[in-house]
């Protein structure tokens, strides 16, 4: 993958000049490239990776396996895009294997998620079944470990 | 009773104290030091490799292995080396797994040198080259490489040092401490010299995965091994290992690839001294070769980013620094400040708490430079560079 994108994926807060230093190019080149990525939708957005367990936020998150009936024209796309548009849905993927869509739903409590599934999701025409799994604890999120690993210790001077 | 100093074998007493060790002791007493003085990655070994070592121990794999190393590891090394160096070695007879490249080099010297045999090598260089030769009763003949030539080893300079007693040429590209990469054309000329004078070439290529290609160093550079030239495999001993690219320094694992007769001779010493490399390290290494390419490339990119920062900052400070093509060292030229390498490093440590290694720790040819290792966390490197800038502005 593009080196600029790789860097932003691990730390989106780096300024253009910091990015330029690391990549050995000019700041203006970084800004040009970023503008292209943002315009063509390669970069969808920037966000902080927050470990909710360390905040007072009691929101819950569930992974829902959804089975769909594919349509003659367009397969799963129309329905999947419709599901993805709900604000409660944070992630939505088409999957291979035993079910079709993996949908991550966020809510303020268990009941809110449950009612989204029963009222909105499972009543959609074409949704065959759903299976809801609530998330209990985060160990790793977007490439970041929730419990920080000890820093490796080195001798100060070695050959 | 005779003083104990006089009991020390003469070739051992002749070896001077390591400049690295001297400096280490100075640094150790200080708290707030940012060290660019290390010769190893700042990353812990990639988890999948550590996990493989743990698993192998859980499975009870805690025994001796074949003296040469696990056959499955030698097979993996054989195909890795063939991919990377374009030379093929028979896992059954041409590969010896050692406790780091340092052991491999010691074996080479002890297996191939008779007292007084000369080894031509280039300085500045890794600290163990000269002592390894001397401890094997050989004569170490240094060829100076210069910053003006970007630390390229010139074949004509090698030729000038070849005598009737020369047996080996010892090479290390990319080079610790300079980060220099030998141009293929010059490497070819050195190969021709080796053939013409019937010399063995020992090539320590421990940093060969860490090459910075393209204009900004972000791309993987291409490595050429001297062993891959026609007529060279039969006279080359290729040394490589896992410490640098795979961040496995503590696993102590290296290997030598060489014609069967030479491998057998090295194995004779290895079997009575080490017996074999630790099996847990060998199991970890199998995993490293199987699935390590991704993490290696990620670390290489991280080094490339730091290298870019460091070069830019040295430029801004007005410190001349040759652009290193490989490894994770920069070797800035500090002559304009009128201090010796040692004075520069000591004062930088005293005044700004940044540790760099005096170039002279790597041989006399290192005078006028200091080694800065950029395998250091980016934010720490930034602070270290700020401190260096403050220091040089006062000189």
pLDDT in tens, A8-60: 999 999 999 999 999 999 999 999 999 999 999 999 999 999 998 889 989 99
Contact across the interface for B35 and A23, Cβ inside 8 Å: no
- Using the structure block, give the residue that is written with the tokens 């060998």: B282
Q: With a threshold of 0.90, tell me whether the complex ipTM lies above it.
A: no
Nearest C-alpha of chain B: how many angstroms from A18? 9
Contacts of B126 in chain A (CB under 8 A): 159
The beta-carbon neighbor of B28 closest among A21, A156, A159 is: A156
Q: Which of residues 123-152 of A touch B (CB under 8 A)?
A: 149, 152
Q: Which residues does chain B have within 8 Å of residue A156's beta carbon, measured at their own beta carbons?
A: 24, 27-28, 33, 35, 37-38, 355
* Min Cα separation B38/chain A (Å): 5
**How many whole angstroms separate alpha carbon B353 and alpha carbon B371?**
15
Q: What is the pLDDT of residues B77-134, one digit of tens each?
A: 999 999 999 999 999 999 999 999 999 999 999 999 999 999 999 999 999 999 999 9
Euclidean distance between CA atoms B390 and A92, whole angstroms: 52
A158 CB neighbours in chain B (<8 A) are: 20, 24, 37-40
**How many other C-beta atoms are found inside a 10 Å radius of the C-beta of residue A147?**
8
Residue range B344-374, pLDDT digits in tens: 999 999 999 999 999 999 999 999 999 999 9
Smallest CA-to-CA distance from A117 within A85, A95, A89, A81 is with: A89
Q: What angle do CA A92, A95, A96 make, to 5 degrees?
A: 180
Topology at the third CATH level for domain A52-137: Alpha-Beta Plaits (3.30.70)
Q: Which residues of A touch B20 (CB under 8 A)?
A: 157-159
Q: Which residues of B touch A22 (CB under 8 A)?
A: 305-306, 308-309, 378
Please give the residue of chain B at the shortest CA–CA distance from A25: B216
Q: What pLDDT, on a 0 to 100 scale, did the predictor assign at position A148?
A: 77
Q: Contact B24/A155, CB-based, under 8 Å?
A: yes
- Would you say residue B6 has pLDDT above 90? yes
Cα torsion A118, A122, A125, A129: sign: negative
**Which helix (H) or strand (E) covers residue B354, if one does?**
strand B354-355
Mean pLDDT over residues B144-160, rounded? 97
Report the pLDDT value the prediction gives residue B22, as an integer from 0 to 100: 82
Distance from CA of B108 to the nearest CA of A (A): 20
* pLDDT of the residue at A158: 85
Nearest chain A Cα distance for residue B306, angstroms: 6
Cβ within 8 Å, pair A21-B39: no
> Per the CB < 8 Å rule, is B44 touching A152?
yes
Between chains, do B312 and A22 touch, taking CB under 8 Å as contact?
A: no
- The tokens describing B380, both together, are 């720490």
- Backbone φ and ψ for B217, nearest 5 degrees, come out as 80, 0
Inter-chain touch A157–B218, beta carbons under 8 Å: no
**Could you read off the pLDDT of B315-345 as tens digits, one per residue?**
999 999 999 999 999 999 999 999 999 999 9
For residue A100, pLDDT beyond 90: yes
- Judged against a pLDDT cut of 90, whether residue B199 lies above it is answered with yes
Give A-chain residues touching B217 at CB under 8 angstroms.
24
Tell how far CA B182 is from the center of its chain. Answer: 14
Query: By the 8 A CB rule, do B302 and B98 touch?
Result: no
Q: Note the pTM of the prediction, 2 decimals.
A: 0.90
Position A118 confidence tier, pLDDT thresholds 50, 70, 90: very high
Domains and CATH numbers, chain B: 4-45+294-394 (3.90.1150.10), 47-291 (3.40.640.10)
Spell out the domain ranges in chain A. Answer: 3-39, 52-137
Confidence band for A157, pLDDT divided at 50, 70 and 90: confident
Q: In whole angstroms, what separates CA B187 from the centre of its chain?
A: 18
Give the confidence band of A155 by pLDDT, cuts at 50, 70, 90: confident
Report which of B342, B344, B360 is spatially closest to residue B352, judged by C-alpha positions.
Answer: B344
Q: How far is CA B268 from CA B68, B104, B112, B273, in A?
A: 10, 12, 12, 9
What pLDDT is attached to residue A156?
84
Q: What is the pLDDT of residue B86?
A: 95
CB B256 within 8 A of CB B107: yes
Which pLDDT value is given to residue B14? 87
Closest-CA distance of chain A to residue B236, Å: 25
CB pairs under 8 A between A and B: 65
Over range B159-163, report the average pLDDT. 98
pLDDT in tens, B20-67: 888 888 898 888 999 999 999 999 999 999 999 999 999 999 999 999
Kindly determine whether residue B301 and residue A24, on different chains, have CB atoms separated by under 8 Å. Answer: no
Mean pLDDT rounded to a whole number for chain B: 96
Determine the pLDDT at residue B28: 87
Q: What is the pLDDT of residue A150?
A: 75
Measured between beta carbons, the chain A residues lying within 8 angstroms of B42 are 152, 154
Q: What is the reported pLDDT for B338?
A: 96
Lowest mean pLDDT, pick from B22-36, B131-145, B153-167, B197-211: B22-36
Alpha carbon of residue B222 to chain centroid: 18
Chain A residues 9-28 with a CB less than 8 Å from chain B: 21-25
**Minimal CA separation from A20 to chain B, in Å:** 9
Q: Which of A23, A152, A154 sits opposite B216 (nearest CB)?
A: A23
Confidence band, pLDDT 50/70/90 cuts, at residue B178? very high
Mean pLDDT of B234-247: 98
Closest residue in chain B to residue A17, using alpha carbons only: B309
The pLDDT-based confidence of A73 (bands split at 50, 70, 90) is confident
Contacts of B196 (CB under 8 A, 6+ apart): none
Reading the block at residue A138, the tokens are 């985060």
């Amino acid at each position: 993958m593009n080196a600029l994108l790789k860097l932003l994926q691990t730390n989106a807060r780096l300024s253009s000049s910091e990015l330029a230093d690391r990549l050995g190019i000019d700041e203006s080149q970084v800004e040009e490239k970023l503008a292209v990525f943002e315009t063509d939708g390669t970069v969808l957005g920037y966000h902080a990776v927050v470990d909710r367990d360390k905040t007072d936020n009691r929101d819950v998150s569930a992974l829902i396996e959804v089975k769909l009936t594919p349509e003659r024209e367009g397969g799963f796309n129309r329905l999947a895009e419709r599901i993805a548009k709900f604000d409660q849905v944070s992630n939505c993927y088409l999957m291979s294997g035993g079910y079709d869509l993996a949908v991550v739903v966020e809510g303020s409590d268990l009941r809110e998620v449950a009612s989204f599934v029963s009222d909105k999701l499972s009543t959609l025409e074409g949704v065959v079944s759903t299976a809801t799994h609530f998330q209990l604890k985060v160990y790793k999120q977007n490439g970041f470990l929730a419990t920080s690993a000890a820093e490796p210790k080195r001798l100060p001077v070695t050959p | 009773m005779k003083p104990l100093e006089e009991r020390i074998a003469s070739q051992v007493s002749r070896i001077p104290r390591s400049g690295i060790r001297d400096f280490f002791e100075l640094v150790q007493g200080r708290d707030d030091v940012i060290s660019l003085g290390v010769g190893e990655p700042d990353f812990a070994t990639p988890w999948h490799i550590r996990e493989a070592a743990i698993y192998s121990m859980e499975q009870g794999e805690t025994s001796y292995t074949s003296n040469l190393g696990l056959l499955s590891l030698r097979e993996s090394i054989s195909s890795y080396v063939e991919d990377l160096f374009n030379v093929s070695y028979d896992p059954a007879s041409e590969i010896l797994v050692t406790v780091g490249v340092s052991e491999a080099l010691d074996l080479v010297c002890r297996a191939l040198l008779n007292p007084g045999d000369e080894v031509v090598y280039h300085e500045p260089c890794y600290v163990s080259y000269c002592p390894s030769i001397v401890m094997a009763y050989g004569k170490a003949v240094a060829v100076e490489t210069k910053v003006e030539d970007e630390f390229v080893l010139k074949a004509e300079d090698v030729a000038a040092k070849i005598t009737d007693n020369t047996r080996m040429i010892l090479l290390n590209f990319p080079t610790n401490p300079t980060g220099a990469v030998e141009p293929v054309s010059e490497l070819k000329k050195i190969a021709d010299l080796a053939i013409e004078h019937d010399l063995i070439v020992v090539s320590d290529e421990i940093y060969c995965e860490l090459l910075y290609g393209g204009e900004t160093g972000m791309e993987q550079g291409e490595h050429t091994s001297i062993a891959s030239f026609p007529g060279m495999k039969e006279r080359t001993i290729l040394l490589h290992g896992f410490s640098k690219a795979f961040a496995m320094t503590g696993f102590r694992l290296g290997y030598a690839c060489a014609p069967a007769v030479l491998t057998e001779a090295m194995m004779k010493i290895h079997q009575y001294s080490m017996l074999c490399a630790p099996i847990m390290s060998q199991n970890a290494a199998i995993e490293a070769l199987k699935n390590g390419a991704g993490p290696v490339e990620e670390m290489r990119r991280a080094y490339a980013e730091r290298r870019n920062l460091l070069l830019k900052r040295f430029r801004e400070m007005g410190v001349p620094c040759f652009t290193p093509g490989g490894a994770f060292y920069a070797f800035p030229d500090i002559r304009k400040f009128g201090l010796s390498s040692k004075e520069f490093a000591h004062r930088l440590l005293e005044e700004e708490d940044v540790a760099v290694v005096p170039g002279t720790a790597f041989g006399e040819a290192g005078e006028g430079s200091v080694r800065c290792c950029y395998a250091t966390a980016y934010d720490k490197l930034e602070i270290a560079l700020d401190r260096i800038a403050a220091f040089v502005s006062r000189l």
